[in-house]
Every structure is written in C-alpha cells, then in structure tokens.
Amino acid sequence: MKAVAALKGKISITDIDSVSPLPGHLRIRTEYSAISPGTELSFLRRASDQQVILGYSAVGIVEELGDNVTGIKIGQRVACYGAPYVKHAEWLTVPSNLTAIVPGHVQPEEAAFAGLGAIAIHALRTADIRFGETAVIVGLGLLGQIVCQIAAAAAVRVIGLDLAANRAELLKRHGVKDAFDQQEAMEEQLKQMTDGHGADCVLLCAGGSGEELINQSLQWIRDKGKIVIVGDLSTTFSRNLMFGKEAQVLISRAGGPGRYDASYEKENHDYPIGHVRWTEGRNIGEYIRLLSDKRLSISPLITNVYPLERAQEAYANYENAKDVMGTLLKYEG
C-alpha cells in the first residue's frame, strides 16, 4: 500500500506492507489523514538520514476486527490517533484504544484532526484550567486555534496571541473576541479581564527558542499560576521569575496518559477509569463528542485537501504560503 515517507528532508510516496490486525486492533481503510504542521515540518527540517513514515491522525472505515475487539463493528467510521499505528497511508492497523466512533452527522474531514484534538484537550487538562478562569494561548496556528475553541467551549475566559494578524482575526471569527496580534494590546486586556491579578495559566503553542516567551509568560500569570508548554519550544527561563510567583512550568506530552506505553497501545490494555480518568483514547472520544455537539468548528480551519499522490505539494505549500492552516490528504476508496 502507499504511504507518505520523509528522507533527508524530502517527501515521497512509498510502498509499505499492509498487516493483519493483532488482537485488540482494527484494520481501517483510510479516508483522510491530517498533516500536523508543527510536528511534521519540524521533523522535515531536521532532515533525518533514515526513511520515516509520517502522520499520526486520521479517519476511516473499519474493514476488519482483530480478536477481542468489542464495541466496534465492521463498516463503522472511526477517528484514530498515534504513530506508528496511524500514519499517512491507505490502510491502517490501529489498537482500538486509539480510536473513537464517528457519528454519521460528523464530517469525516473534521474527525481526521482527532490527534490534534486529543493533544489540545490534554494540554488543557495539564493546565487544570477551570470554567471562569483565564487562559492566554500563545501561537494561533492549527493547534492553538483548537486549544482556544475547546477552552472557550469549557467557559474558560480565553485570550489568544499571535504575531500574524490573519490568525488572530480567524480566531475572532470563531467567537473568541479577545484575539490579538500586538502584545501590548493583549497585556492591557489581560489586566482589565483579571483585575490586574494575571492569567491563571498560559499555554504556549509556539515553537522555537522559548526563553524570552516563557519569561514573558511568567509575568502574565497570577501568583501560583501555570505555564504549559505545548509546542516544540526550548525550555530555558528565569528561576527568579518562577520563584517570585511560585509558578509551575509544565510540559504537555502528546494526547494523554497511555501515549508511548506499549501495554496501553500495542497490547491494547486500557487503564481503569477509576485510576486514569482521561486516557489518550478517551481524549480522542471527547474531541469527537465536541464535534458531534457542535462545540467545535474545524472546517473553516481546513485550508487545503490534496490527494495522497500530491503529498509533496501539500507539505511544500506550508513553506510557500503564509495563510495555510489545516491540510488533509484524501484517499480513494
């Protein structure tokens, strides 16, 4: 079957083996897979000398069930998340723990972003932000836009910041009115919104050198507030600023508990809900529920849909066009 590969910073379409599902796994015919611009473009820039199959978020139709799979039927549409099981490929073999059934009224194009949705949800859980509290989200790319929408749906007071005016304007069109492309204007609104106390947390969905941004964020938060690093950001910052507020600087790892645990993923052993309320699988399901309840609007964030054969063009478009947000690869059935 065909899949998208990266080698030495270049994209190509390659043939890989299709495997039968292990116990607890599903075989899925892919309809759409979503490019994660932060993770995947960062990987391409590092130019690995070893071929790697890209992708981690998709949607498709269940065609075969492994042993011991319950609650899922052949023919159902499911969203799925998590490399190396989920990738930009025509067929996927995925642990059922990493899937969520997609209701018929939910657009598959939106469901394909389940991986980014789970990452956004886990970031907010890491922040432990409660309704009525204030969150500043820095970096309004695809992930930051999703974080803002979910936070707003949870009645969090959201302030978005990005240097690109078009990204701030896009967030406003999704109903988050406090979106800024100027730091000074954002700081003034934050002061008014919190009576001068500062934000309860700042979520950093940006990438690159983090020292200046983290130090600035430490000044934006209230006493004992939190900084959550979501993007690919370096983590040098001022101990004095952190100490002065007894702040927490946290990092959010992927889509939630279970990620990178072979027992949870490959062996498909779920965590008891009484011990781990929100696993990565449950976060995937929560993203789909938010779509189903129309609490999220992802379609306006989808800039382009390319057939698999044009994957190279899809990635190059992120380098050539400044207004690209979400990109899907489409697979013929």
pLDDT tens per residue, range 66-76: 999 999 999 99
Residue carrying structure tokens 């003034």: 188
What's the whole-number mean pLDDT along residues 269-292? 98
H-assigned helices in the chain? 37-46, 108-111, 114-127, 142-153, 165-173, 183-193, 211-220, 239-245, 280-292, 311-320
pLDDT of the residue at 4: 97
What's 120-251's CATH class?
Answer: alpha beta
Per-residue b or e along 304-323, where b marks 16 or more CB atoms closer than 10 Å to that residue's CB: bebebebbeebbebbeeeee
Residue carrying structure tokens 């932060």: 38
Q: Residue 56, SS3?
A: coil
Q: Residue 277, SS3?
A: coil
What would the pLDDT profile of 1-31 be if each residue is shown by its tens digit?
Answer: 999 999 988 999 999 998 899 999 999 999 9
Quick check: pTM over 0.85?
A: yes
What would the pLDDT profile of 114-136 be if each residue is shown by its tens digit?
Answer: 999 999 999 999 999 999 999 99
Q: How far is CA 240 from the centre of its chain?
A: 32
pLDDT of the residue at 321: 73
Closest to 315 in 3D by CA, of 31, 45, 51: 45
Residue type, 332: E
Q: What topology is assigned to 2-113+257-330 in CATH? A: Quinone Oxidoreductase; Chain A, domain 1 (3.90.180)
Closest to 67 in 3D by CA, of 7, 10, 121, 27: 27
Closest to 327 in 3D by CA, of 37, 31, 10: 37
Residue carrying structure tokens 């999704």: 174
Q: Token pair of 325, please?
A: 């947000």
pLDDT of the residue at 46: 81
Q: Token pair of 43, please?
A: 């990987």
Residue type, 85: Y
| Spatial separation of the C-alpha atoms in residues 274 and 298, rounded to whole Å | 32
| CB proximity list for 315: less than 8 A, separation 6 or greater | 11, 35, 40, 41, 44
Q: Residue 184, SS3?
A: helix
Neighbours of 70 (CB within 10 A): 7
Q: Contacts from 47-51 at CB under 8 Å and sequence distance 24+?
A: 47/8, 47/9, 48/6, 48/7, 48/8, 49/7, 49/8, 50/7, 51/5, 51/6, 51/7, 51/14
Whether 253 has a pLDDT exceeding 90, the answer reads yes
Closest to 139 in 3D by CA, of 171, 113, 173: 171
| Spatial separation of the C-alpha atoms in residues 279 and 93, rounded to whole Å | 20
| Spatial separation of the C-alpha atoms in residues 278 and 302, rounded to whole Å | 27
329 touches 307 (CB < 8 A): yes
Query: Which DSSP category does 210 fall into?
Result: -
| Spatial separation of the C-alpha atoms in residues 259 and 129, rounded to whole Å | 22
pLDDT of the residue at 106: 98
Whether 47 has a pLDDT exceeding 80, the answer reads no
What would the pLDDT profile of 131-184 be if each residue is shown by its tens digit?
Answer: 999 999 999 999 999 999 999 999 999 999 999 999 999 999 988 999 999 999
Confidence of residue 56 (pLDDT cuts 50, 70, 90): very high
Identical fold for domains 2-113+257-330 and 120-251, yes or no, is no
DSSP assignment string, 250-269: EE--TTSTTTT-TTTTTS--
Would you kindly state where each structural domain of the chain is located, as residue ranges?
Answer: 2-113+257-330, 120-251
∠ at Cα 56 (55, 62), nearest 5°? 110
Whether 38 has a pLDDT exceeding 90, the answer reads no
